[in-house]
Structure 1
Amino acid sequence: MTEKKQSKHTVTEIRQLLQQASQAPLSAETNLLLEKLANDQRQGVQRLRQAFVRKQAKLAAQYEKFNAHLAFEREAWEQGSPLVAGIDEVGRGPLAGPVVAAAVILPHNFAVYEVNDSKQLSASKREALFPLIMQEALAVGIGLADNQQIDDLNIYQATRLAMAQAVTKLAYQPDLLLVDAMTIQTSIPQKKLIKGDARSVSIGAASIVAKVTRDHLMADYAKHYPGYGFEKNAGYGTAQHLAGIAQHGITPLHRQTFEPIKSQLKK
């Protein structure tokens, strides 16, 4: 039998080495370290090694998924369209507040691997990713259609308006638009992607920017219209929101063509 040998490093030093190794792609040096640690008899060392291996496996899967979601962007880049904007919206379903759209152009070396459809991320993860996207993106544009425009145009057309507005707010004109499940009025070439926020990194980034922007906006509205829970429900028809309407009435933020607002106004 091969005798297991203990590393010369303390457990604390090994923890630090593995933490440093986790900040970069797996290297030959790290693999050699893991081989040495496999022969270390200390339970604390084995727990650290196993945790590191699990984390690396998760990161590898995340990296593979991220690369798959860059397929539409890479195809456009290779065909001579270097500036690709992903476009998404949030807020089509709430009873109050605007619909918000974002357009995001990412650099070709963008490497924030956790970017995904905002609906698949926790609020804390979206908040963490938002500043990274804003910092790394070549350009970000925000569009907004308020509740009055939604009532005047209908939610579908108001959403298209917010998306088109987001494109005009970009610092650079894109060569191609990747749009989540819609088409918008523009002369720029565009590609409609069903469930695009889960298929394209650019659209996923736009979905995070739109969601966080709208959530912050609704939290601010909550200060002016307390009692509806806008800071928690973002204007969706939760029990707290409906109770607020029953107690305090309808605000200037409410969509008057949406039920149950529409029926209550008739009363």
Structure 2
Amino acid sequence: MKLTLTISEVKTQLKSLNHLDDPLVAELRTDTRKGVQSALVAFEKRIQKQIIAKEAFEKRFKYEKSFWSTGNQYVAGMDEVGRGPLAGPVVTAAVILDESFDLIGVTDSKLLTANEREHLYLKIIEEAIEVNICVKDRDFIDQHNIYHATQLAMIETIQGLQHQPTQIIVDAVPLDLNIPQTTLIKGDQKSISVAAASIVAKEYRDHLMDTYDKFYPGYDFAHNKGYGTAKHLAGLKQLGITPIHRMSFSPVPEYK
């Protein structure tokens, strides 16, 4: 069968395809037009990228699938955001997924754009069995130190779940709980549940810092999220500290 599609129509058709073995693809390979062959190359790159992403997704699901296979129905992925900033809270999140979860784009929140994170955040909230968040403010952090404050926030997050997990996958921070735990270094790159938790925690905290930027202008919180950037330090020097600055973090006390 000889194709009579224009190059524009070929591109439109290829956008709707998701398999390299589609009969249309085989037919297009015989088309000698340069525009068609360029469209095929772009199509093949897109499909290969999808295949790689799917394989990576399945690999990051291996811990959850292993636990599910041994009868652990509720596996909670845990992560935190905000241990390093000079200002703002630390936020922890726990996410419980099931085998139907299929958001291939879920990975370490630091590897995603702001638009990707926001889109995935909304989809995670929609598709997860349960999501829980805990926020600990400046006073709590200064009282307990950031590491212990993070641990306590994570414990509170788990205890607040309606579906109590029988297994926890946590990113690098061991928790004093009578629940079996798998502690992973860079867990948000190795576990889908932890990656989902990292996205939820980061999006929640980022929105908080955007709000704080309106209450405390001059520190560039909307962009630095409380980290010690040049603009943030310039704001501290000019305006002093705010109620969300951590007094236990250097150099914040210098600006009191």
TM-score normalised by length of structure 2: 0.95
Q: Is the 8 A contact 2:95 2:132 kept in 1?
A: yes
Which residue of 1 is the match for residue 74 of structure 2? 83
Q: Is the 8 A contact 1:143 1:164 kept in 2?
A: no
The alignment status of 1:167 with 2:162, answered yes or no, reads no
Q: Deviations over 1:176-210 (max 9, x none)?
A: 11000011232222211111111101101100111
For 1:138 and 1:218, how far apart are their aligned partners in 2? 27
Task: Please list every run of at least 4 consecutive aligned residues from structure 1 whose deviation after the TM superposition is greater than 3 angstroms.
Answer: none
- Residues 82-161 of structure 1: matches in 2 within 5 Å? 82-161=73-152
Which residue of 2 is the match for residue 17 of structure 1? 13
Query: Which runs of no fewer than 5 residues in structure 2 stay unpaired?
Result: none
For 1:169 and 1:220, how far apart are their aligned partners in 2? 25
Decide which moves more: 127-136 or 220-229.
127-136
Q: What fraction of aligned residue pairs are identical, expressed as a percent?
A: 46
Which residue of 1 is the match for residue 39 of structure 2? 48
Match of 1:183 among 166, 170, 174: 174
Which residue of 2 is the match for residue 226 of structure 1? 217
Residue 123 (structure 1) shift: 2.0
Match of 2:184 among 169, 193, 200: 193
> What SS does structure 2 have at the residue aligned with 1:21?
coil
Residue 6 (structure 1) shift: 5.2
Query: Which AA in structure 1 matches 2:77?
Result: G
For 1:192 and 1:242, how far apart are their aligned partners in 2? 35
For 2:183 and 2:131, how far apart are their aligned partners in 1? 19
Query: Which AA in structure 1 matches 2:57?
Result: F
Count of matched residue positions in the alignment of Structure 1 and Structure 2 = 256
Which residue of 2 is the match for residue 206 of structure 1? 197
Q: Is the 8 A contact 1:140 1:171 kept in 2?
A: no
Which residue of 2 is the match for residue 262 of structure 1? 253
Counterparts in 2 of 1:111 and 1:252: CA distance versus 1, 3 Å: same
For 1:117 and 1:235, how far apart are their aligned partners in 2? 20
TM-score normalised by length of structure 1: 0.91
Residue 27 (structure 1) shift: 6.9
> What SS does structure 2 have at the residue aligned with 1:236?
coil
